[in-house]
Amino acid sequence: MATTMTFSAGHVATAHSIFAFAAFIAAFILACRYNYYDIVKNEFHKYPEEWFPSISATVGDHYPARNVFQFFIGLTSGPRFALVFLSYYSHYNPTSPSALSLVNLVIGVLRSLAAGVWVYVTSTDAHAVHDIGMIAYLVLSLFYMISLAHLSYRRQTIAKRPSAWKSRVLMILGFLCLVPFLVYWFIQHKVHAVAGAYSIYALFEWCIVLFDVGFDAIAGYELSSWNIMFVENTPSEPRVAEKLAAAATTGKEKAAAAANAAGPTIVIEKGAGLLAHMADTYLAFTFWTLLLSLPLTIWYFPLWDMGLSGYESFLATTLSPIILSIPPIRRLAARNPAFFHLISLTGLGAHRVEDPKIRLAMVGVGIGASFVAWVSTLADPFGPKFVKSKEKTIPVRTWTRVVPFSLGLVAVNVVRVFHHSNHPLFPILKTTLNDFGLLCAFLATVVVGFRPTTVEQPTYTVKAPVRTGSAVFAGLAIGATIWNAHSMLTDQGILCRWTLRGYPDPGPDPVKHGWLVVVAMCAGIALSKQAALSRSTVWWMAGTAGYFAAYYVPKVYGFAGGLVFAVHTMSIIPTLFQTLPYLHLGVTISVATMTYDLLALGSVWTVAYAFVPLGEYLRERTHILIGIAQLFVLLGLWSSSKTLGSVHLFETRSTAAAKRVKEMRTRAYGVANVTLGLLIALLGVGTALRLQGRDAWEGKAVEGGKETPVTMGIWTIHFGLDNGMWASHEGIGEAIRDLDLDVVGLLESDTYRIIMGNRDLTQYLSETLQMYADYGPRPTTHTWGCALLSRFPILNSTHHLLPSPVGELACAIHATIDVRGTPVDVVVAHNGQEEDWEDRRLQTTALTDILAGNEGRPSVFLGYVVTHPGVENELYKMFVETARMKDTDPYEEDRWCQYIFYRGLKRIGFTRVSRGHLTDTEIQAGKFIVGEEKAGSDMWWNDPARMDIAERDWVKVQQKRGAEWTFPDCFRGEGVRGHEYHAGGERYYWVD
């Protein structure tokens, strides 16, 4: 006779709750009793300004609270793991199995392990490891909660068993509602150092604990109907487990037989009219616009703080489609996609707001709502009626929505051609087109809102098994494809700049040859009609090879590879997104959005800015991201072959259905071809206008003679974002024009990155100022960027990566320009940060070697050195003594970053102009005449007695030498647009 012991499984949840709450309560009481003043103190304030402790300080820093907390958490671990597995078994439905049950189990285990990391590795032990554990725990908790809430809903609606899904949803909403407050008060503390802010943040942090533990406690209700039985088997009796397994198998077979009694129903999509097609295309254009805008507006905050700001959390708004895992919300989105499109217009209206934080929030809301609308549209193209019972309702493949989604990306490229790679609807721009674009989006939303149902009757019934691929693989591929498109195909100049080299043959030009990228994208959309080809592994290999060719191979051949990649990426977008109606949407879109976010963050890590934690692991390793992304795409294509192959089988088994599907595909691509033709025509007009503008000045000689001064400047432009998070390219152009610079080096200029909106500042500046441009080292070199603008033709240029063993990669351009018949060398460079002395020393050594190697030619150095002036400073001394360069004004001691050195020229003037509101660095400019200075004049720079050579009275200079010898009048006094000469004014030098 077997001995048994039985108790309710609900007791496991009760034990978990008791131990968890005991851990936090006991730690809080003990920490406040013995270490109160220590745990409320932070890096900015202490008691009484701060009065409430954070969780980390309470449970991780001091004895005895930390030890008691870890003791109770150890007791909690057993019930926690038991809860995870019991939840899996209690929500598993053999009649309607869901892959989400297994996913939830895996997430639950990982969540528990992450909790162990942040509990037992405290912030004082290893701060980075503790933070990683905490962040992983919070992210996994969110996915665990949402997936388990969905399983609870299925438990009640499909299995007809009692569940607490409504209580779980309330806990999730409470958890999510606290996040904005956490972010806000953390920023107030970390960025603004507001007294008391961290205490308020801590209050919300402790509330998160209540919702977290409370969510797990709800499991007690669902598990109360389960018993845990311990049975001692005897040799003469059959095993109880075997009996239960046999019963379960029999039940599963019976349920499966009942489910397959009636054949699945094929649903046919109605064709979309031209107006609906245009509305979908424009709303796709809006989606890609907002996706571009989000990282750009996030970037402003760490850029100015030079460190993580907390606003990076807004990237999580792209996870918004995960809410479609909740059935009522999914039905709402399927029934009213226009509702979410309407909310997304918030992002397009952000340009109306001055406050950068509010603008970022509006963009976050906008892209979050647009993401939900588009995922719902692509996953449920037949409306809310068919959200349920996917086992018997088989929608055919749909092209009416997914093709416009691709066309919207092409439209983004075309619009940017007319605006020198800027996007007129960016929230960092104030143009009349912002409001016009918002109005068009509203009208498109109205069209979508009044669009009739897309379900066509009669339907076609076919008896056949349903086979689908992996939801995880599909999600990986969709996320990687969105990242690929965002990184590489949101501006036609990106592939051109990826394959860039120096003059005289820099490679494909963004205007002259960039249109080929858009044509390739259009070809990819047309090719997507051939589903078998788009899913081909050989075709994937071609696209991947082209991707790596664009990364590694210079100029024409690399660009050609990039075009193949563009065709491939656009051809697979319909294939991947067509799988959404047949897979578990919660799993697929959760994996997709997380994949996109991780790859987007990885693209920042590859540049390895100094303030990025753990940046060394992906520094200069974009090729790793490319490999990962393309591997994910391959997995998704394999999965789609299985999914769409099964759907195609359904379509072909009904002659009427197959005929109608072919008609719908032909109609969808017919309308798309009209749109493609219109976009290509607009592309041709925009390209022609740009090239016509260039022809007006390229190749023409610059006015002046041998004795006409040449003005050269250096300016760090801070990636084209001003102090108020507005685009600064127009202001930069106005300042360069007003200062009458003939040659200017621009630093921090490489903006072809996701976080900078994939813009090219040199296109606008070159064409509006009528100056030749050298973009500098290509984006794949992972530098901050340096560029050269010159009114004189650039004869030759070489791009350099300076030694950077510790910090960010430093870049340099060594160019030779034709100054009215005389070759003059110009070196533009950006050295590393103050903290990395060895980097700066090695970089300066490399620069002086470059300058010393052409000592027989007139040379000018325009760069960012990071040192005080004077030969007593090693880096400065290397330029003066090793490279034999002269400082334009060595007695100007108020300098640290930017310098202008020269050799073989007559220096006649130097000035510094304030930065205004455009950047964080001043403009420096020097005036020169081509030709050697007279004997003796080369000694002025180390002889204080000869300072009388310097003349500050610009009126006298104009009278003696002419107006072209002086700097412009507009910067004197109060200046113009916030730019004015520094207190030292202007200085002019000459030797008669």
Distance (Å, whole) CA 737 – CA 431: 21
Q: Specify burial of residue 128 (Cβ count, 10 A radius: 0-12, 13-18, 19+).
A: exposed
Quote the tokens at residue 745. 């080096």
CB neighbour burial string for 63-94, b if at least 16 within 10 angstroms, e if fewer: eebbebbbbbbebbbebbbbbbebbbebbbbe
Please, which residues bridge with residue 927 across strands?
711, 909
Lookup result for tokens 């892959």: 99
Phi/psi for 778 (5° steps) reads -65, 160
If you count them, how many residues does the chain have?
992
Query: What DSSP string describes 302-313?
Result: HHHHTS--SGGG
Lookup result for tokens 């990395």: 836
Lookup result for tokens 């000869």: 946
Distance (Å, whole) CA 32 – CA 884: 65
Nearest CA-CA partner of 916 in 759, 712, 715: 715
C-alpha dihedral (119, 125, 131, 132), degrees to nearest 10: -90
User: Does 356 sit behind a cis peptide bond, omega within 30 degrees of 0 on the bond before it?
Assistant: no
Give the H or E element holding residue 61: none
Grouping H, G, I as helix, E, B as strand and the rest as coil, residue 963 is helix
- Kindly name the residue from 830, 868, 917, 979 that is annotated as catalytic: 830
* 830 given a catalytic annotation: yes
Residue 479 — left, alpha, or beta (φ > 0 → left; ψ -120 to 50 → alpha)? alpha
Phi/psi for 231 (5° steps) reads -125, 130
Distance (Å, whole) CA 116 – CA 985: 62
Give the H or E element holding residue 152: helix 127-157
Distance (Å, whole) CA 301 – CA 360: 10
Grouping H, G, I as helix, E, B as strand and the rest as coil, residue 976 is strand
Nearest CA-CA partner of 612 in 379, 883, 834, 303: 303
Query: What DSSP string describes 648-666?
Result: HHHHHHSHHHHHHHHHHHH
User: Does 458 sit behind a cis peptide bond, omega within 30 degrees of 0 on the bond before it?
Assistant: yes
Amino acid found at 244: L
Pair 783, 748: CB distance under 8 Å: no
Instruction: Give the DSSP letter of residue 452.
Output: P
Query: 710-716 and 743-747: which strand pairing?
Result: parallel
Quote the tokens at residue 871. 């030969």
Nearest CA-CA partner of 870 in 899, 893, 902, 901: 893
C-alpha dihedral (228, 84, 175, 202), degrees to nearest 10: 100
Directed axis angle between helix 65-91 and helix 10-39, to 10°?
150
Distance (Å, whole) CA 714 – CA 722: 17
Distance (Å, whole) CA 473 – CA 637: 8
Write the CB contacts of 329 (distance below 8 Å, at least 6 apart in sequence).
Answer: 323
Distance (Å, whole) CA 595 – CA 2: 51
Distance (Å, whole) CA 775 – CA 760: 9
User: Does 64 sit behind a cis peptide bond, omega within 30 degrees of 0 on the bond before it?
Assistant: yes
Grouping H, G, I as helix, E, B as strand and the rest as coil, residue 268 is strand
Nearest CA-CA partner of 428 in 765, 764, 719: 719
| Catalytic residue ranges | 830
